[in-house]
């Protein structure tokens, strides 16, 4: 099975300047494609910015899917033979979602709406995601999407794994308080599911909030294939082999030391996960 070169674009954006942000994204897409990347990922809300103070302000820069930005990037993907994932504020009727879009040479392939919403930034103004966790086959690479805070909920990554994901892409906007998520949870999600995991964060400061960068791409072992240790603009690249993510059975000593993090589950014991709220909430 052919390997894929993927890229994570760690960049800043300007609040409310969708046209300007899109122009920079298109330039970065070309740069990454020129380095051989076939899937290029951008941060959460990179099209619009994140720190909106009201739903009305956020809605003023929201776009439908498909829409102008997804069509523009699809045009570039068609020319370059690539795929792209980017974060935006999605307008759907009178509702507003923090979304990620997957586009390719033939246009919009899929969308994901952030399921878990913290009380911060634009997430105070958006509706909770109402779409299922889906995996999209790009022709040899099966990709699932999550957004930022979703990484803190292992169930989301596990559902995508069970749906066949080789790679999970996480557009994110991490403030300094989320440094432990970058350091600990991203490799944990990769290791516990034996999948590739790419977290792409933004940089810069917006209305007093600083974003830390620290994007990373993890191997199926949880080890880092590419990592940013700071908040400077960069593009991370990694070569991934989808077949490794599909080989869940790990044989260290045949018949004596074997693991399978999917087949060894005990879902009949996990009923509490779906019974609703607990007394600790």
113-170: per-residue pLDDT in tens? 999 999 999 999 999 999 999 999 999 999 999 999 999 999 999 999 999 999 999 9
HSE-up (13 A, CA, CB side) for residue 8: 30
Mean pLDDT over the full length of the chain: 96
Place of tokens 């590419």: 226
User: pLDDT of 68-80, one tens digit each?
Assistant: 999 999 999 999 9
Q: What is the mean pLDDT of residues 172-180?
A: 96
**Rounded Cα distance, 39 and 50, in Å:** 24
Q: What are phi and psi of 30, to 5 degrees?
A: -65, -40
pLDDT of the residue at 281: 57
Q: Helix 186-193 crosses helix 154-162 at what angle (to 10 degrees)?
A: 40
pLDDT of the residue at 280: 57
Q: What residues pair up with 108 in beta bridges, in sequence order?
A: 103
Least confident window among 83-87, 151-155, 233-237, 276-280: 276-280
- 148 is annotated as an active-site residue: yes
Out of 63, 77, 90, 114, pick the active-site residue.
114
User: 276 vs 255, which has greater pLDDT?
Assistant: 255
Band of pLDDT at residue 279, cut at 50, 70 and 90: low
CB 166 within 8 A of CB 245: yes
- 114 is annotated as an active-site residue: yes
What is the SS3 assignment for the chain? Answer: CCCEEEEEEECCCCCCCHHHHHHHHHHHHHHHHHCCCCEEECCCCCCCCCCCCCHHHHHCCCECCCCHHHHHHHHHHHHHCCEEEEEEEEEECCEEEEEEEEEECCEEEEEEECCCCCCCHHHHCCCCCCCCCCEEECCCCEEEECCHHHHHCHHHHHHHHHCCCCEEEEEECCCHHHHHHHHHHHHHHHHHHCCEEEEEECEEEECCEEEECCCEEECCCCCEEEECCCCCCEEEEEEECHHHHHCCEEEEECCCEEEECCCCCCHHHCHHHHCCCCCCC
Q: How far is CA 1 from CA 33, 78, 150, 222, 246, in A?
A: 21, 23, 30, 21, 11
Out of 125, 148, 151, 218, pick the active-site residue.
148
pLDDT of the residue at 273: 87
Out of 44, 63, 90, 206, pick the active-site residue.
44
The alpha carbon torsion through 18, 20, 22, 25 (nearest 10 deg) reads -140
């Amino acid at each position: 099975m052919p390997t894929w070169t993927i890229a994570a674009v760690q960049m800043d954006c300007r609040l409310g300047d969708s046209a300007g942000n899109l122009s920079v994204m298109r330039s970065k897409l070309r740069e990454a494609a020129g380095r051989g990347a076939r899937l290029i990922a951008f941060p959460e809300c990179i099209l619009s910015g994140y720190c909106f103070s009201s739903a009305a302000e956020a809605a003023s820069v929201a776009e439908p899917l498909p829409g102008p930005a997804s069509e523009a990037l699809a045009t570039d993907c068609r020319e370059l033979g690539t795929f792209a994932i980017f974060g935006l504020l999605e307008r759907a009727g009178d509702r507003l979602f923090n979304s990620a879009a997957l586009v390719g040479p033939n246009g919009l392939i899929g969308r994901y709406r952030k399921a878990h919403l913290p009380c911060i930034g634009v997430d105070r103004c958006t509706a909770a995601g109402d779409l299922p966790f889906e995996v999209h086959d790009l022709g040899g690479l099966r990709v699932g999407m999550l957004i930022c805070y979703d990484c803190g909920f292992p169930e989301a990554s596990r559902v995508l794994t069970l749906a066949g994901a080789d790679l999970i892409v996480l557009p994110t906007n991490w403030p300094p308080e989320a440094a432990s998520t970058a350091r600990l949870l991203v490799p944990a999600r990769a290791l516990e599911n034996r999948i590739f995991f790419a977290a792409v964060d933004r940089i810069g400061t917006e209305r007093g909030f600083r974003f830390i960068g620290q994007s990373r791409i993890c191997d199926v072992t949880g080890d880092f294939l590419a990592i940013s240790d700071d908040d400077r603009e960069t593009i991370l690249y990694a070569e991934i082999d989808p077949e490794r993510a599909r080989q869940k059975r790990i044989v260290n000593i045949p018949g004596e030391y074997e693991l399978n993090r999917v087949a060894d589950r005990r879902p009949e014991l996990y009923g509490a996960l779906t019974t609703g709220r607990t007394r600790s909430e």
